[in-house]
Amino acid sequence: MIDSARRAPFALVVGSIHHDRSLLVSHLPRPGETVIAQRALDGLGGKGANQAVAIARMGVPCELLGVVGDDDSAGIVRSALLAHGVSVAQVGAVAGRTTGRATVVVEERGENLIIVEPGPVDRIDQDMIDANLRDRETPPAVVVIQGELPAPVLDWTAESAEKAGARFVLNLAPVLPVNPDTLCRADPLVVNEHEATQLIGLLGGDPAPIGGIEDALPIARRLVAAGVRSVVITLGADGVVLADRQGARHEAAFPAIVTDTTGAGDCFTGTLAAGLAHGETLAEATRRGLAAASVAVGRTGAASAFPTRSQVDDVLRREAASR
């Protein structure tokens, strides 16, 4: 097991960077239906960018490795990342390409629908990953990646992170057909209930939809039995199920008055990764992630809604006092 507590708490996120367009609607459109937006907002997005912001908010120095185009959006997302305290030294600009974009449709009850135009992520190559991990004097304590990049990038990153001695956090969202070794290197693998179901299907199991905590527990155990070091399945308002070789258990969500759940998963994963970089156990880092996500869902927006370390500490203190 890698001792991330002895390393400088520095995190590297390899991930997507988008210029998002969020549209607030009364209800999500059905196929063929036109819905008029009540409000439109432009801002930073992409699972990589969001998780990097969540980490930086926890006071953990964070570098983002990713690509943007050479359009106006590139400057906008770089400035937004810098404003959130994320290092963009490893963000490459690809000439003649547009920056990734996501159209996020959010309905009043908090459900959302997202369509991603990925941008030049096909230009991330193995040399970029190796230069940032294997050839580096001080490797990061934690490396985080998500499924918005091509599957080979996830495989190179997992292998390179292991060689560098960094803890590898894999948020397989969306699910991609990665190398089985990549899944086994994840510590933890973080997926939501839809992704967990899909993953079980990819591994040859019965992809029956998860209907809550009781369904998620055996699936998490099954992923650990398949060789994944640890697994966290997020269950929205039901919190998470977490599993490792010691067993599987449920952790409830912190109470929240929901305004907008966009980015809740990114807030959870980034905050969890920051906790691990600080040397917390998976259980401690998971509780920190749950506390952070409960704050984020009570606010509008994604990265801009993520709480700071002291706000999360307050939620954890209040919860401990109420027990």
Ligand X SMILES: Nc1ncnc2c1ncn2[C@@H]1O[C@H](COP(=O)(O)OP(=O)(O)OP(=O)(O)O)[C@@H](O)[C@H]1O
- List the binding residues: 18-20, 46-50, 148, 192, 234-239, 260, 262, 265-266, 296, 299, 301
Applying CB under 6 A, the span of 2-10, 203-211, 228-236, 271-279 interacting with ligand X comes to 228-236
Please confirm whether the linkage preceding 188 is cis (ω < 30° from 0): yes
CA distances from 46 to 77, 224, 303 (A): 10, 28, 10
Give 3-state DSSP helix, strand, coil % of the chain, rounded to 5. 40, 25, 40
For position 46 contacting ligand X by CB under 6 A, the verdict is no
| Binding residue positions for substrate | 18-20, 46-50, 148, 266
Min separation Cβ 137 and ligand X, Å = 35
Min separation Cβ 200 and ligand X, Å = 17
For position 286 contacting ligand X by CB under 6 A, the verdict is no
Looking up tokens 């106006």 gives 72
How far is it, in rounded angstroms, from Cα 259 to Cα 111? 10
Cβ atoms < 10 Å from Cβ of 271: 31
Applying CB under 6 A, the span of 33-41, 83-91, 230-238, 271-279 interacting with ligand X comes to 230-238
Instruction: Name the pairing type of β-strands 18-25 and 189-192.
Output: unpaired
Cβ atoms < 10 Å from Cβ of 27: 12
Taking CB atoms, the residue at the shortest distance from ligand X is 265
Min separation Cβ 60 and ligand X, Å = 19
- Output the CA angle 127-133-139, nearest 5 degrees: 165
For position 237 contacting ligand X by CB under 6 A, the verdict is yes
The sign of the dihedral angle between the CA atoms of 176, 178, 180, 181 is negative
Min separation Cβ 95 and ligand X, Å = 32
Of 49, 224, 297, 315, which lies in the binding site for ligand X, with binding defined by CB under 6 A?
A: 297
* Contact yes or no for 200/219 (Cβ under 8 A): yes
Min separation Cβ 127 and ligand X, Å = 31
For position 307 contacting ligand X by CB under 6 A, the verdict is no
Which residue number, 22 or 132, has a Cβ lying nearer to ligand X? Answer: 22
For position 271 contacting ligand X by CB under 6 A, the verdict is no
DSSP code string of 224-238? HHTT-SEEEEE-GGG
Applying the rule CB under 6 A, the residues between 183 and 222 that interact with ligand X are 192
215 is catalytic: no
Query: Annotated active-site positions, please?
Result: 266
Binding site for ligand X (CB under 6 A): 173, 192, 234-237, 239-240, 253, 256, 258, 261-266, 268, 290, 293-294, 297
